Chains A and B, each alone.
Chain A
Amino acid sequence: MVVNSFPLLNSTNIKAKELAREGADPWTVILAEEQAGGYGKEKRQWFSPKGGLYFSVILPKSDIKDIQILTVLAAFSVARILNEEYKVQALIKPPNDIWVNNKKIAGILTENIIAGEKAQSSVIGIGINTNIKNFPKDLANIAASLKIETGQESDNKDLMKKITEELKKQLEAISQ
């Protein structure tokens, strides 16, 4: 697994799309300690301070209709790893959010660049509130972090690898 790590990015998805256009290999990971302009669906801001886990994965080229399942598979992968590693009850709010104790703890955004019927490139961005100790007032009642929920400190790089491997495993299974 090739991992490109950055202390700060505007958005890991933007960087991933840029690298995908330049021909980066599938399963290249872009990891940032912090995002200045992290975003989710419809460009809604994703709170991305240091401490959280923010990464994007460049996906293999696929038919656009098949990519729909990737977001769901990624949500499964994230929820499964969080349940296993932290013993939390992570629930999926389909297709792309993960909630713990009725608060959002992780989000997933798949972005495709499509020409004709084919996706020229696809990236999947995953943001998880891991070592975030507090949230701004407007998020405090709707956002959760693993640190707040479990008291556990996360090894972000290790968690990223586990989730990426799980996603790869799921995707390879349905691709054969």
Chain B
Amino acid sequence: MQIKIKGKIYNIEVFEPQKGSVTVRVNGQEFNFGEKKNSCGRLKEKGKGKGTSSKESKKEIKAPITGVISKIFAKEGDPILPGQKILNLCAMKMENEIVSEIEGKIKKVAVKEGQTVKSNELLAELE
């Protein structure tokens, strides 16, 4: 298969060298996914990973990934319910709705629409 980026053609091959791993070969260079030595591309099952964070930490809404703030739905003083949308973060051409984990009130919106944010950067604070 071929991918064209800015006029340059890349030859791509995807194959499974063994059960549980995928290798992507780009112009002869191999990238492996699914192996323990390289966690990139390794999907974690629900419930695995870090432990439940405290209510205090849930008051700080942080960017889970580097991206651009495409839309802000909440403003300071707004009451917020669990699951309520705070903003949209566009990253890697994925649209991400960032919702609150807890009930509270918006203390501060730390970003603006169109702003680029880094992973773990503060987006909003609840009280």
Contact = CB atoms under 8 A, between A and B. Distances in A.
Interface of A: 21, 41-42, 60-69, 71, 76, 79-80, 83, 89-96, 99, 109-118, 120, 170-171, 173-176
A104 B83 CA distance: 35
Contact of B94 (A89, A112, A115): A112
Interface of B: 1-5, 12, 14, 16, 19-22, 33-34, 40-46, 49-50, 53, 58, 64-65, 70, 82-83, 89-101
A95 B24 CA distance: 15
A76 B14 contact: yes
A112 B85 CA distance: 12
Q: For chain B, what secondary structure do more than half of its interface residues adopt (helix, strand, loop), or is it mixed? A: loop
A42 B50 CA distance: 31
Contact of A60 (B4, B46, B50): B46
Contacts of A67: 94
20 contacts: A60-B43, A60-B45, A60-B46, A61-B45, A61-B46, A64-B65, A71-B93, A92-B4, A92-B12, A93-B5, A94-B5, A95-B92, A95-B93, A111-B96, A112-B97, A174-B21, A175-B42, A175-B43, A175-B45, A176-B20
A21 B90 CA distance: 20
Contacts of A65: 64-65
Given A63-B43, A173-B21, A115 B34 contact: no
B97 A116 contact: no
B64 A89 contact: no
Given A42-B70, A95-B92, A173 B34 contact: yes
A115 B101 contact: yes
A103 B12 CA distance: 20
Contact of B99 (A69, A92, A94, A115): A115
A134 to B, nearest CB: 26
Contacts of B1: 76, 79-80, 83, 90, 92
Contacts of B89: 114
A117 B49 contact: yes
Please name the 7 residue pairs, one residue from A and one from B, whose CB atoms are nearest each other, closest first.
A176-B20, A175-B43, A110-B94, A61-B46, A174-B34, A64-B64, A92-B3
A110 B95 contact: yes
A76 B2 CA distance: 10
Tell which of B3, B58, B70, B99 has the most Cβ of chain A within 10 Å.
Answer: B3
A41 B93 CA distance: 6
